[in-house]
A and B are shown apart, each in its own frame.
Chain A
């Protein structure tokens, strides 16, 4: 067994946080794992699914996060420990079920791991999931290190069983995707047996797994939370380091703990500044916090996104006896830390230095001056773009041309996936709206009903193949039912590419590698009574013509499927390019050509390079994947492709 399943208790591994979480679930003896991929949470499930068969448990990529959470709950109800993992947006999708689930109890340990993405490094929005735990009364743990990510996950299953409620682990990108030391524990070796027992122990005439009568269950939930608070008072995941009386007390948790430690060290304040590190984030261990509040007259809350600790601790202070001295609070409300974006050691150093009236120099001023003198033109920015040979580049080229030929100021509504890059130069700025999964199709429904207000701009909604199954089908059905006028373009690259090429219901394989029924998206669309065309995006001429025809139609929605495998998947499998491509320097007119560098400046595949010495285009053979599409965009026919 390799990876997260390695049976080597006591050994130290270099795991990313997501692997550490997966390992914790294995050490807890899970029987079921379910997830929908989403950065930065994906590798939790990816690493679990890679060992599921060998380790004799069940794992799946579910169609979306709501179903994933229901799958895990089903297993828990029948006495099997289960984990579900998702990114912050995924929790929104699952929210309705989650908000009902907390009303009832659970069966075996049930854990939701949710990954926030402060600074939205790969997300369509920024939000702080700690609020959901508080809102829905869910016990929440947050790891500060890779070791804690494993240990907390393992413990969360025991905790869930002891409290009889779902527990949450909150991770963030800098835990999920960073790598560090993890010392392994034992893997349990016992057999598990599933049995569904639905008799409610309190009211035998009622089923156990229902969210009714809610008010009474809600009061039960509050009692569970009080018990959690009691347990958290003595949790080994909370501790204090620093002097008995501190000039400044930092209260922090999660990824921010390491930043705080480093900042205090960099400023040499170990003897003046104390740090209370919290791992049990909701409910907060009230007595423990009160005990430490007395250590200093100045309290700084170091946390990312919302003032969650800050607000919750201030609530707690408001309940203290009136005679207790009130400390001064520093944090988001005082303007010392932003209530958005992620933190890092530099930002925390800056905040502490300003409160303590210190100056900090990261390097000699002379060096900084020299570094800043380097002209900006020496380091041209790299704008994120589609991979070389990506089918999406060709698709958006065709969309752009079709919309221009149509001439009615049509536009694209979209959502999240590799194709989101079409909001920028990679996709020729074609995507004009971008929100959550499936939102392109949903928003198009509204736009497509505005004819009575004189609206005649064509609306083209795009979604990926995995997104189609996840969230766009209800929007398409709504459009058919309500006769909304739009074209749905499904970018079918046969994978959930952005998160690492996971299979989905249309691919015909399960996450565990079993062959299964491939849900046929054309047949599905046909059965809904909608017209479907399929194109190969690399055939620019046919794609443009097909799109133009679809756009020109009126009435209810029509579907165009742009079908071409993700280039990275193809490249990894085929190991060789379909074409050998080069630029004929005699045909390329360079600066003299009227195209104004159409190939490198506009089309922008990274395989195409402008050689400033010769003043002509060339191909970088280490980058070009030989798709051959650029041959069809050069007006001079100077880009030559030869089949390999």
Chain B
């Protein structure tokens, strides 16, 4: 049985309402459940469809059930679906060991000015012990739907090797969650994500 580098392992998925946070956290959570871990997922609901900032806290442990809140400054991994949201989460939950994987495609907040993407990326890198910024949305559009960005990010997370779940366990969960053809396209996206962090 695999053990965790740290117990509990704290993962935060950051994004904007409507991007699919809940789906990502559920798929990852299921992979851990299959391997016999305790998993707790805390979601920000309410704003989920309505363009607010959203985050999912995933807490994984061999020992016991944790609360759905990761304490401030205690995230181990941050999976960002949008760069500004990634930075927001890093500022509150980051620490000197945190590892970040993030989508570099901006989603503008209604009526707000943005600094250049370069500045945001530099800030993300400055607050992470290690980071990967990938343009998952553009890659997803090539596959026909921006929603595949989620699967690309999961692929990147597994591919980065920082995560105690391998491709085989994730594939098992995806097969259960997506019927027939949908599974195949999702796997293409997943593999793309793995590839993007391998380069």
Contacts and interface: CB of A to CB of B under 8 A. Distances in A.
Interface of A: 12-14, 39-40, 121-122, 145-147, 173-174, 177-181, 255, 258-259, 261-262, 266, 344-346, 349, 362-364, 366-368, 370-372, 374-375, 377-388, 418, 421, 425, 568, 597, 600-602, 604-606, 608-610, 612, 620, 622-623
A374 B49 CA distance: 28
A378 B66 contact: no
Contacts of A122: 45-46
A625 to B, nearest CB: 10
B41 A180 contact: yes
B49 A568 contact: yes
Interface in B141-172: 141, 146
B129 to A, nearest CB: 10
Contacts of A610: 108, 111, 113
Given A181-B38, A606-B108, 7 more contacts: A180-B40, A180-B68, A367-B95, A381-B53, A383-B110, A606-B107, A608-B110
Interface in B39-79: 39-47, 49-53, 64-69, 71-74
B42 A371 contact: no
A109 B70 CA distance: 38
B40 A604 contact: no
B42 A174 contact: yes
Nearest to B39: A14
16 contacts: A13-B33, A178-B41, A258-B67, A345-B67, A363-B94, A364-B95, A379-B88, A381-B112, A382-B51, A382-B52, A384-B17, A388-B51, A425-B111, A610-B108, A620-B107, A622-B137
A610 B33 CA distance: 43
Contact of B96 (A180, A344, A367): A367
Contacts of B114: 380, 612
Contacts of A262: 66-67, 71
Contact of A372 (B40, B91, B109): B91
Contacts of B137: 622
B87 A609 contact: no
B45 A258 contact: no
B120 A378 contact: yes
B16 A377 contact: no
B51 A385 contact: yes
A381 B120 CA distance: 14
Contacts of B188: none
Contacts of B38: 180-181
B24 interface: no
B126 A370 contact: yes
A382 B53 contact: yes
Interface string B5-36: 00000000000111000000110011001000
A605 to B, nearest CB: 8
A245 to B, nearest CB: 25
B112 A362 contact: no
Contact of A362 (B44, B52, B73, B141): B73
A379 B91 contact: yes
B179 interface: no
Interface in B79-108: 84, 87-88, 90-92, 94-96, 107-108
A346 B26 CA distance: 25
A378 B18 contact: no
A394 B18 CA distance: 20
A349 B115 contact: no
Nearest to B46: A122
B109 A380 contact: yes
The interface centre, meaning the residue of B41, B66, B69, B107 with most chain A CB atoms within 10 A of its CB, is B69
B66 A258 contact: yes
A145 B94 contact: no
B69 A259 contact: yes
